[in-house]
Amino acid sequence: MSRAFRVCPPRGISYTRPRKLSLIPRPKLQQPNSLNVSRRVLSLHPFSRMPVERLPSPQEEPIAKRRKTGPAEPRLIQSYSGMDSQVGANPKTLELTKEETKLRDLLLAVAAYIDDEGPFPEATTTGVAVPEQVAQEKIVLRWTGGWVRDKLLGVDSHDVDVAINKMTGENFGLKMLEYLKMPGNLEKHAFDSSESSKIMSGLHTIKANPEASKNLETATIKVMDIDLDLVNLRKETYDEVSRNPQMEFGTAEEDAMRRDATVNAMFYNLHTQEIEDFTRRGFEDMAAKIIRTPLEPYQTFKDDPLRVLRLIRFASRLNYTLDPDTAKAMANKDIQEALKIKIKRERVGIEMEKMLKGPDPGMALRLIDEAGLYDTIFTDPTREIEFQPDIAYYRKGYQFMTSWLGEKEDSKRRIIPEILLPASGTESEEKYLAWVCAAVIPWADAPKISPPKKSRAPLHAAFLVTQEGLKAPNRVCDVIAASSDHYESISQLVAECQKRLAKEDPKSPAQREKIGMALRKWGRTWRLQVFFSMLHEIVYGSQSTDSVLDQYANFVTLITDLDLLDVINVKPLVNGTQLANALEVKPGPWMKDALDVVLAWQLRNPSITDPAEAIEEVRKTSKSELPSNLISHFLTLTIRPLFSQIKTEHTDSDAPAPWKDRENSTFFELLQWCVRAMDEKDLREWFRMIRPPIFRMLEDSDLKWNAKACQVITQLVRKAPPNIKEECRNLFTEDLFHFFNYLPTLTPAEESARLLEHVYPALCSFVPLAEERIDVYERGTASTDSSNATLDDKDIRFLDKIVWQGTIAVLRHAPTPVTYPELATLVLKNLTRLIVVLEIECVKHASDIVALLHEILRDKLSPAYIDLPLVATNCLKAVIAKGWPRMDLNRLQEMYLSLATAWVNCSGYSRTETLKGQLKTTLTRMERVLYKDGPDNDAARWWTGEKERVSEVKSPWVDMLPES
């Protein structure tokens, strides 16, 4: 005889005397306060518990309880401890609700319909055949397990498992739909159209999956908001080779004996309306509040190790005691090893989530501790971790949680759970997550674990235990990861606030900003992270629990008093577009962090609620709080990281520098804004942060970045105090003069011109009087300051160097100045400005300058590039205006000849009116010089004779001569 037939005695023997249930609707019965089942009732069980032989099996429960669709979290329940029982001294009375009565009538009608139709061919997809003897029976339906237990405890249940004696759940469900589709049946059972539609479309089948130890299909359907699980009565048999249970149709007795606990193994027979306790221990264990297995516990757990966690969950949920033999089997190392290795971690995580969301998580964690299961459950089975958690920390954690959450006294410490773990109804999501924190706290100080990919950051062990050991959802893992990241900084801030509390007012604007920005940095789960830090200090710290609680109570109170509880949802007064417009820069990735700076300013200035005021603060270039904060932020957090990366042997040499990436392209505008917004104090403080970007751009091979560096230097030096200006001259001038070597043909003329366009202003900015004198000359106004100020020798030598290396040498580089007209035009414009700055000191360069100007003005092709002779004429006029005291007649005659030649050359070109006007103006300026000593000197007499000669011979340039 196979072992399958040794589980129970022959069919037909009655184990129990059934208890009849009352179906009288609605009357309220007197409910006793305890489950006191009378000895007379218990004596109705004439048979003792039967021993059962089984082969060991490592597999899980054959048919796993399906997870209900709907909300992701299990429904939180109240503790059953102290609930009224409907058993009491008269366990025959059990009142069904109106919906349950209606459901029973429907199911019995379906059963009768099936019986009337005759034999029903069972589907063979599962490979499980209905025994011939069973197939001849009539349909018998029972409500099983948790529903019976909950009804006896006086707890309403909306989950009903229906056990069927001779059909699979899917086939029964199909027959139920077939029955309801028959005309008049929906109306007969008083289902409206909405409910009918839900029933007709609500049947789902969970197919058999032997690999997951699910060898029989289960059907589920919802009727009147009651979730029905339809499944056949079954038994487990084992062969000598495989430890996988083979599922077969069984009797109600066999089905009851294969369940996890006696209190979950009772049936309610829909036909007889009787409670059936085939284990003969269900009522007894409910009365004694004991959790035990129907069969021998070691073998029960060996068959399905997950039952260890299920029984712990039921014990904590019902406030029941574990049977000593059951508890002993739980602590068996073989069972624990099987639970750790053979049970899917998702199923472990589901059970733990239900425990920690149940009415007494502390009891569940205590039972895990007493069974020595911590290392089995709270571990990462995917990798070997050398660190061994100290169970003493685990024990201290859950003991603290149990006593702390159970405190009822009205003290200032009660603000901690009220704020950090706000309740929603009787329980809260935050409390569940707090219990997860307590469970993994022994892993808090474990060394970080290197990830599989070296490019990723190391992972916290507590995070891995939560993610891989419990397969917790991301929202839970994220809390543990964030708590592990921030608990040290939280502890430091709490300690700092405690010190401030003793010395000064902790409610200052600066403190409000610091705490508010810290909360925002920690993120939306900051409450749980603060709790984790507090728990860590209690479990690991050297301070007393009372001292830690007082500090955190003060910290939470301070957060409340500063009105920062909702700071995570505060939005900046200025949006990104407004901020970019105020800074006059392009929007970019920098905006996100810059808006945090704006928000920090808001926290310091909570009275300002008008966005216009915030925008005005941003626009200010003088010293003000918000611009100063933005300067600090941009230089330290946005710009500096782009220029501080050091290349290593693993760095791609061809990869562009970070500051050249398109996504970082706005850094240059931010750098310019920082310099523009600085005052002298800011410059002294932040000059060290500005130098690296300038040097990196100066050294780059791309002339575009060289030019940008020159722009920043010009902007910086114009605002710098004398000491920083002098330092800039020493740091940057060598690189700037080096750029005068970037000339054709090695450098295209257009690129050279674009670079030198920014080099000249950068060099001139080092001379304090340069820009003022240039401005006065170009605007044609007078300046009292510049008329009295003089250049020192150092500045003169510096300007001389620019004239020689930056203009004369550049113009002489080409075969003729007209060879590269655009470049020559740019050089002559800046040469004119240098002459204006040098004033009389320009005479030392007159010979070279005038020679170059003669070459340009006398070139017949120069009017083809009209800007070049025009600029040359202006330059000649500046030489005359600034150097005339030291000019002799020969020099002036050369200039006259160049002007006359340029006038004649204009005759072959159109649009030369402006040039001719400039030539005439320059000649007028020269005439004043010739007449400076009156009309009787040699120069004046020569000029008078020359004008007469030109008029008489009607020279081509006669119209250029100024009027007498």
The pLDDT assigned to 208 comes to 52
Q: What percent of the chain has pLDDT over 70?
A: 84
What is the CATH class of 98-288? Answer: alpha beta
Q: What is the dihedral of CA 618, 619, 621, 625, to 10 degrees?
A: -20
pLDDT band at 764 (very low <50, low <70, confident <90, very high): very high
What's the average model confidence in pLDDT over 206-222?
61
pLDDT band at 755 (very low <50, low <70, confident <90, very high): very high
What's the average model confidence in pLDDT over 192-197?
80
Residue-wise pLDDT tens digits, 451-477 = 877 768 899 999 999 999 999 999 999
Mean pLDDT, rounded, of the chain: 84
The pLDDT assigned to 964 comes to 64
The pLDDT assigned to 2 comes to 35
- Only one residue has tokens 């004439």, namely 46
Instruction: Please state the φ and ψ torsions of residue 717, each to the nearest 5 degrees.
Output: -65, -35
What token pair was written down for 93? 């009375």
The pLDDT assigned to 83 comes to 40
Which of 87-101, 150-164, 547-561, 711-725 bottoms out in mean pLDDT, i.e. has the lowest?
87-101
Instruction: Please state the φ and ψ torsions of residue 392, each to the nearest 5 degrees.
Output: -60, -35
Residue-wise pLDDT tens digits, 782-800 = 544 445 688 999 999 999 9
The pLDDT assigned to 70 comes to 34
What's the average model confidence in pLDDT over 646-653?
47
Which of 138-142, 503-507, 885-889, 936-940 bottoms out in mean pLDDT, i.e. has the lowest?
503-507
594 pLDDT exceeds 80? yes
Which of 331-340, 730-739, 781-790 bottoms out in mean pLDDT, i.e. has the lowest?
781-790
229 pLDDT exceeds 70? yes
The alpha carbon of 463 is separated from its chain's Cα centroid by a whole number of angstroms, namely 16
The pLDDT assigned to 584 comes to 85
396 pLDDT exceeds 70? yes
Q: How long is the chain?
A: 964
* Residues 740 and 811 sit within 8 Å (Cβ to Cβ): no
In whole angstroms, what is the distance from residue 88 CA to residue 90 CA?
Answer: 5
122 pLDDT exceeds 60? no
| 3-state SS record for 918-948 | HHHHHHHHHHHHHCCCCCCCHHHHHHHHHHH
Using CB atoms within 10 A of its CB, is residue 524 exposed (0-12), middle (13-18) or buried (19+)?
A: middle
* Residues 734 and 724 sit within 8 Å (Cβ to Cβ): no
In whole angstroms, what is the distance from residue 209 CA to residue 875 CA?
Answer: 94
Amino acid, res. 675: V
Residue-wise pLDDT tens digits, 902-915 = 999 998 898 899 99
673 pLDDT exceeds 50? yes
Delimit the domains of the chain by residue range.
98-288, 378-557, 576-623
Whole-model pTM?
0.70
The pLDDT assigned to 236 comes to 74
The set of residues, in sequence order, having a beta carbon less than 8 Å from that of 765 and lying 6+ positions away, is 713, 714, 717, 718, 771
The pLDDT assigned to 71 comes to 33
804 pLDDT exceeds 80? yes
* Residues 63 and 214 sit within 8 Å (Cβ to Cβ): yes
Q: What percent of the chain has pLDDT over 90?
A: 60
pLDDT band at 661 (very low <50, low <70, confident <90, very high): confident
The pLDDT assigned to 623 comes to 64
The pLDDT assigned to 771 comes to 87
**Dihedral of CA 337/339/344/345: which sign?**
negative
* Residues 126 and 216 sit within 8 Å (Cβ to Cβ): yes
- Of the two residues 879 and 303, the one the predictor is more confident about is 879
Q: Which residues of 47-77 are buried (b: 16+ CB within 10 A; e: fewer)?
A: eeebebebbebbbbbbbbeeeeeeeeebebb
Helix (H/G/I), strand (E/B), else coil: 124? coil
The pLDDT assigned to 78 comes to 39
505 pLDDT exceeds 90? no
Q: How far is CA 428 from CA 71, 75, 350, 415, 875, in A?
A: 15, 11, 18, 16, 83
| 3-state SS record for 767-820 | CCCHHHHHHHHHHCCCCHHHHHCCCCHHHHHHHHHHHHHHHHHHHHHCCCHHHC
238 pLDDT exceeds 70? no
217 pLDDT exceeds 90? no
The pLDDT assigned to 91 comes to 56
678 pLDDT exceeds 60? yes
Long-range contacts made by residues 711-717, C-beta under 8 angstroms, separation at least 24? 711/672, 711/758, 711/762, 712/668, 712/671, 712/672, 712/675, 713/762, 713/765, 714/758, 714/761, 714/762, 714/765, 715/672, 715/675, 715/676, 716/675, 716/683, 716/690, 717/762, 717/765, 717/766
Q: How far is CA 684 from CA 678, 691, 716, 724, in A?
A: 10, 12, 12, 8
212 pLDDT exceeds 70? no
636 pLDDT exceeds 70? yes
The pLDDT assigned to 859 comes to 94
Which of the residue ranges 72-76, 423-427, 937-941 has the most confident prediction, judged by mean pLDDT?
937-941
Q: How far is CA 430 from CA 19, 78, 357, 433, 733, in A?
A: 43, 17, 10, 5, 62
The pLDDT assigned to 207 comes to 59
What token pair was written down for 104? 């029973």
* Residues 581 and 612 sit within 8 Å (Cβ to Cβ): no
What's the average model confidence in pLDDT over 228-254?
75
The pLDDT assigned to 44 comes to 31
The pLDDT assigned to 3 comes to 35
In whole angstroms, what is the distance from residue 365 CA to residue 372 CA?
Answer: 11
Using CB atoms within 10 A of its CB, is residue 158 exposed (0-12), middle (13-18) or buried (19+)?
A: middle
